[in-house]
Amino acid sequence: MGSSSGHQRSKTRSRNRKPLGIQLLERVRGSPISFRSCQALVLVLTFLSYASYHATRKTTSVVKSVLDPKTKTNLGTSSAHYWPPSHLFYLHNLKDADNSSAGGSLSSGGGGGWVPFNEAEDGTALLGEIDLAFLGAYAAGMFFAGHLGDRVDLRVLLTVGMVGTGLFTAAFGAGYWLDVHSFYYFLAVQMVAGLFQSSGWPSVVAVVGNWFGKSKRGLIMGVWNAHTSVGNISGSLVAAAMLRYGWCWSFVVPGVVIALVGLAVFLLLPVAPDVIGVQEDLCLKDAPLLERRRADVEEKAVGFIEAWRIPGVAPFALCLFFCKLVAYTFLYWLPFYISHTAIGGEYLSDSAAGVLSTLFDVGGVVGGILAGHISDHLDARALTAASFTFSAIPALFFYRVYGNVSLAWNIALMFVTGMLVNGPYALITTAVSADLGTHSSLNGNSRALATVTAIIDGTGSIGAAVGPLLTGYISARSWSAVFTMLMASALVAGLLLSRLVAAEVVAKMESRRTPAPAASDLLPVSSSSMDEP
Indicate whether 490 pLDDT > 60.
Answer: yes
Q: Are 311 and 438 in contact (CB under 8 A)?
A: no
Quick one: what percent of the chain has pLDDT higher than 90?
26
Q: Which residue has the higher pLDDT, 183 or 68?
A: 183
Task: Please name every residue paired with 348 in a beta bridge, in sequence order, or none if there are none.
Answer: 83
Q: What is the Cα 143 distance to its own chain's centre? A: 16
**pLDDT in the model for residue 219:** 55
Q: Hey, what's the torsion of the CAs at 412, 417, 420, 423, to 10 degrees?
A: -90
**pLDDT in the model for residue 153:** 84
Amino acid identity at 524: P
Q: Which residue has the higher pLDDT, 462 or 391?
A: 391
Instruction: Label each residue of 276-297 as H, E or C.
Output: HCCCHHHHCCCCCCCCCCCCCC
- Whole-Å CA distances, 24 to 20, 92, 267: 6, 47, 10
The band of 436, judged by pLDDT with boundaries at 50, 70 and 90, is: low
Indicate whether 107 pLDDT > 50.
Answer: no
For CA atoms 424, 427, 429, 431, the dihedral sign is negative
Q: Which residue has the higher pLDDT, 351 or 196?
A: 196
Cis link prior to 254 (omega < 30° from 0)?
A: no
- Whole-Å CA distances, 170 to 61, 98, 194, 251: 15, 19, 13, 5
**pLDDT in the model for residue 91:** 45
Indicate whether 3 pLDDT > 80.
Answer: no
Query: Mean pLDDT across the stretch 23-40?
Result: 86
**pLDDT in the model for residue 126:** 85
Angle at 148 between CA 144 and CA 154, to 5 degrees: 130
The band of 440, judged by pLDDT with boundaries at 50, 70 and 90, is: low
**pLDDT in the model for residue 170:** 95
Q: Are 192 and 255 in contact (CB under 8 A)?
A: no
**pLDDT in the model for residue 52:** 95
The band of 177, judged by pLDDT with boundaries at 50, 70 and 90, is: very high
CA distance 148 to 202: 9
**pLDDT in the model for residue 424:** 77
**pLDDT in the model for residue 122:** 72
- Whole-Å CA distances, 169 to 52, 62, 166, 175, 404: 12, 14, 5, 11, 33
Query: Mean pLDDT across the stretch 268-276?
Result: 84
The band of 509, judged by pLDDT with boundaries at 50, 70 and 90, is: confident
List the chain domain ranges: 19-72+120-278+299-513
**pLDDT in the model for residue 139:** 84
The band of 267, judged by pLDDT with boundaries at 50, 70 and 90, is: very high
Q: Which residues contact 122 (CB under 8 A, 6 or more apart)?
A: none
Amino acid identity at 501: V
Amino acid identity at 307: A
Indicate whether 74 pLDDT > 50.
Answer: no
Q: Which residue has the higher pLDDT, 135 or 213?
A: 135
Q: Which residue has the higher pLDDT, 411 or 1?
A: 411
CATH topology of domain 19-72+120-278+299-513: Growth Hormone; Chain: A; (1.20.1250)
Q: Which residue has the higher pLDDT, 86 or 498?
A: 498
Indicate whether 259 pLDDT > 80.
Answer: yes
**pLDDT in the model for residue 384:** 85
Indicate whether 449 pLDDT > 60.
Answer: no
What confidence tens digit (pLDDT) does each residue in 120-155 have? 567 778 888 888 889 889 888 887 876 676 677 889
The band of 480, judged by pLDDT with boundaries at 50, 70 and 90, is: very high
Q: Are 358 and 232 in contact (CB under 8 A)?
A: yes
Instruction: For the chain, give percent helix, strand, coil, nearest 5.
Output: 75, 0, 25
Indicate whether 252 pLDDT > 90.
Answer: yes
Mean pLDDT for the chain?
A: 76
Query: Mean pLDDT across the stretch 209-216?
Result: 62
- Whole-Å CA distances, 416 to 52, 290, 389, 399, 413: 25, 35, 12, 9, 5
Indicate whether 314 pLDDT > 90.
Answer: no
Burial class (CB in 10 A: 0-12, 13-18, 19+), 5: exposed
Query: Mean pLDDT across the stretch 51-59?
Result: 92
Q: Hey, what's the torsion of the CAs at 285, 288, 291, 295, to 10 degrees?
A: -70
Indicate whether 345 pLDDT > 80.
Answer: yes
Burial class (CB in 10 A: 0-12, 13-18, 19+), 296: exposed
How far the first Cα of the chain sits from its last, in Å, is 50
**pLDDT in the model for residue 529:** 42
